[in-house]
Amino acid sequence: MKNERLPKQKINKRKKSSKQKLNKRKKRWGKNVVANLFFVFFTVLCLIMLSTTRTHLVDGNSMLPTFENRDRMIVSKTTRIERYDVVTFEPKDQRSKSYVKRIIGLPGDAIWLDGTNLYLNHQLREPVNSSGKTVNQTDIPDGTLKIKLSQGIARSLEGLARIPEKKYFVLGDNRNNSRDSRTIGLIDADQIEGVAVYRYYPFTRMGRIH
């Protein structure tokens, strides 16, 4: 009886061994498929991120208290620019640098000058003081911003009743220490790198940018 059972036991062992090997191969194949899918997904995600976003390192204190020197942020290249968005852009006279400022004036906003004082109002349908006469303080419409410009920039804006298409007026949040549209003028749309959407460093102040 023992001699008859041995072959059956060996056969069963072989079957079990074959099944185990098959199961191992299936598991390895499944793991490889998952790993490959994850790699493809990660690669596609990286390509999308590279094509739609960039990073920016804050250099200086012009955006205090919103951003401090050496803060790091993610900038979206595809987000539509709206009023008060924080954007990064290349200044025309320093193409190797990247500034971060806040959008104050959009294309179509009403503007007028009184000497080197710029008045900006985005709610007006008709521009004020198109005749070039001095504006009295009592005549200034509600919601108007008064901004002191350099003489050179004031001269460059003479004759404008509105911010032209594809032009923007930007200011640093730290008004007393910022090189912005008051001294460099309106910036072009093609200078803008994108809208700052997320601060990722320092870790203690990570979060969305408003």
Confidence of residue 5 (pLDDT cuts 50, 70, 90): low
The mean pLDDT of 11-28, rounded to a whole number, is 66
Q: What's the CA gap between 50 and 200, in Å, rounded?
A: 16
- Identified catalytic residue from 27, 101, 133, 166: 101
> What is the structure's pLDDT at 22?
67
Q: Which of 79-88, 114-123, 182-191, 198-207 has the lowest mean pLDDT?
A: 114-123
Domain range annotation of the chain:
1-54, 55-208
Q: Does 87 score more than 70 pLDDT?
A: yes
pLDDT digits (tens, 9 = 90+) for 126-150: 666 554 455 555 567 778 899 999 9
On the question of pLDDT at 200 being above 70, the answer is yes
Percent of the chain at pLDDT exceeding 90: 61
169 confidence band (pLDDT: 50, 70, 90): very high
Of all helices (H) and strands (E), which one includes residue 201? strand 192-201
Q: What is the third-level CATH fold of 55-208?
A: Umud Fragment, subunit A (2.10.109)
Q: Which of 13, 16, 19, 62 is catalytic?
A: 62
Kindly indicate the confidence band of residue 12, based on its pLDDT and cuts at 50, 70 and 90. Answer: low
Query: DSSP states of 92-143 as a string?
Result: TT-TT--EEEEEEE-TT-EEEEETTEEEEESS-SS-S-TT-PPPPGGGSPTT
pLDDT in tens, 173-188: 999 999 999 999 999 9
Catalytic residue flag (residue 62): yes
| Residue 101 annotated as catalytic | yes
Average pLDDT over the chain reads 85
What residues contact 178, with CB distance under 8 A and at least 6 apart?
Answer: 62, 63, 101, 171, 172
Read off the pLDDT of each residue in 88-102 and give the average, rounded to a whole number: 93
